[in-house]
Amino acid sequence: MRQIFPLQLASALLLLILGSGMVLADPPQERPANEEVPKAPYLMPGAPTFEMTLVNFREKYNAANPTQQIGEFRAIPDKTDSALLTRAASKINEDLYASTALEKGTGKIKSLQITYLPIKGPDEKVAHATAISYMANLIRQFDATLTPAQSQDKINNLLDKGKGMQFYQQQVGAIRYVIADNGEKGLTLAVEPVKLALSEP
């Protein structure tokens, strides 16, 4: 049985640096206070929301992916009273997490992420393949025209372009894909809506 280390668990939640400027999730108590907190910029100031709540997303996602479900999300405590976001995470398995940023008041989704905590050993290839599959599933939820094979190709292309980068983004229509590659500390795909500029009359 694999053992997950506190640093790996902390990394999954600490990759949720969201909102206008940078907001950090509270580090778990077992994390040393003097340890450097990884930084990964996600949500841009004034970013819009998807027209769906987390409950709507999970229902749609789980119906489309019966063998790769995402469980209920749990809120991440935030001591910043002025925060305009609610953050939450869901543990998929020991090395894979889903997380989100929600607009306070409406509960609409501003960002959805899948984070993989790389492991070493005999289970490495299977764990990595599972993470890629979940990321492809997430992409397909926001682009229904993609086949499973095409969504796999898309996430592999994004990961190749974002390899070793703390922040790589690609906009496709009204969707922004973000890759945050923090090596052994975690690999994250974020999917977010963007405002489309109105064309000049």
In a domain, 134, yes or no: yes
In a domain, 199, yes or no: no
CA pair distance 155, 176, nearest whole angstrom: 13
Q: Which amino acid is at 16?
A: L
Q: How many domains does the chain have?
A: 1
> Each residue of 139-157: pLDDT tens digit?
999 998 999 999 999 999 9
Cβ neighbour number for residue 140 with a 10 Å cutoff: 21
> Each residue of 98-112: pLDDT tens digit?
999 998 888 999 999
In a domain, 198, yes or no: no
Domain residues for the domain of 142 are 6-193
Residue whose entry in the numeric block shows the structure tokens 């989704």: 109
In a domain, 200, yes or no: no
**In b/e form, how buried is each residue of 112-138, taking b as 16+ CB within 10 angstroms?**
bbbbbbbbeeeeeeebeebbbbbbbbb
With cut-offs at 50, 70 and 90, classify the pLDDT of residue 82: low
In a domain, 1, yes or no: no
In a domain, 146, yes or no: yes
DSSP 84: -
> Each residue of 32-66: pLDDT tens digit?
333 333 333 456 667 788 999 999 999 999 999 99
Angle between helix 124-142 and helix 54-64 axes, rounded to 10 deg: 120
